[in-house]
């Protein structure tokens, strides 16, 4: 009889700064918070605006804090005024890249096709990708949450091998809970994250599903983090506003 191998996934506490922090503010904040995070058991990561990447990396040097880029374009170079390429990001030393966040989808019109192109490009460049997914309040109230999330995930992972998929982080962020103070209940968050893991097993296999890390995001706070992260299919969080405060330490240690 073949025994199932239990894979211990390392928890990940990720912050998404969005359009906040100047380079000097980023340097000051990371210098202040890094001694507080030195004994965190989880992996710690901040996604920062492109202009902050080098200042953040310099401030985080020698610590357990990793720095990632909030956004990039899927072409290598060219006439794309205002965009930033993965070659530019990689040259700074940043390793993680974020894609598929609801704000990029809804405000800037990034389609499922774009997210797939970004993921394939991130894999090509050897970066560590995090793919976001999530539903609006209207979709949830209509009872279409799981179907919506499945469509986003299947599209994002089109053409991605099992070996590469295992190294992708997925962040489930219900749009109705981002920055609103509303939080999906523990059961709601676990239901969707559990469904995503089963979906990865269906697309690939059980081993890939066991390896992939799935985060919850949406008004995560020091008060609710421990309960959320204790769920079997939630491997940490993607945190917005709370990642701009030194109390993020409590989330990273939850």
Active site residues: 101, 173
For residue 93 the two structure tokens come to 């030393």
For residue 46 the two structure tokens come to 């901040």
* Strand pairing report for 65-69 and 236-239: unpaired
Q: DSSP strand E in the chain: where?
A: 12-16, 43-48, 65-69, 96-99, 128-133, 169-172, 213-216, 236-239
Contact 15, 248 (CB under 8 A): yes
For residue 208 the two structure tokens come to 């890939």
Q: Give CA torsion, residues 27, 30, 32, 38, to 10 deg.
A: -150
Measured CA to CA in angstroms, residue 161 lies from 119, 166, 197, 209, 248 at distances of 12, 9, 16, 13, 34
For residue 141 the two structure tokens come to 């109230």
């Amino acid at each position: 009889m073949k025994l199932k191998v239990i894979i211990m996934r390392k928890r990940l506490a990720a912050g998404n700064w969005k359009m906040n922090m100047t380079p000097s503010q980023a340097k000051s904040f990371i210098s202040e918070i890094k001694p507080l995070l030195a004994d965190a058991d989880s992996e710690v990561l901040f996604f920062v605006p492109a202009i902050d990447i080098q200042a953040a990396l310099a401030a985080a040097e020698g610590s357990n804090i990793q720095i990632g880029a909030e956004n990039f374009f899927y072409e290598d170079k060219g006439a794309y005024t205002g965009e930033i390429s993965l070659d530019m990001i990689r040259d700074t030393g940043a390793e993680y890249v974020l894609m598929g966040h609801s704000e990029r989808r809804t405000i800037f019109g990034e389609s499922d096709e774009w997210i797939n192109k970004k993921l394939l490009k991130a894999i090509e460049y050897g970066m560590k990708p995090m793919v976001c997914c999530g539903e609006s309040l209207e979709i949830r109230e209509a009872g279409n949450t799981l179907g919506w999330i499945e469509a986003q995930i299947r599209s994002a992972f089109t053409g991605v091998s099992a070996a590469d998929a295992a190294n992708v982080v997925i962040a489930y962020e219900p749009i109705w809970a981002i920055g609103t103070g509303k939080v999906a209940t523990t059961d709601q968050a676990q239901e969707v994250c559990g469904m995503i893991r089963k979906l990865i097993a269906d697309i690939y296999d059980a081993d890939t599903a066991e390896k992939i890390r799935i985060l919850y995001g949406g008004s995560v706070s020091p008060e609710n983090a421990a309960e959320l992260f204790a769920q079997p299919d939630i491997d940490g969080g993607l945190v917005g506003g709370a990642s701009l405060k030194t109390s993020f330490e409590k989330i990273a240690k939850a």
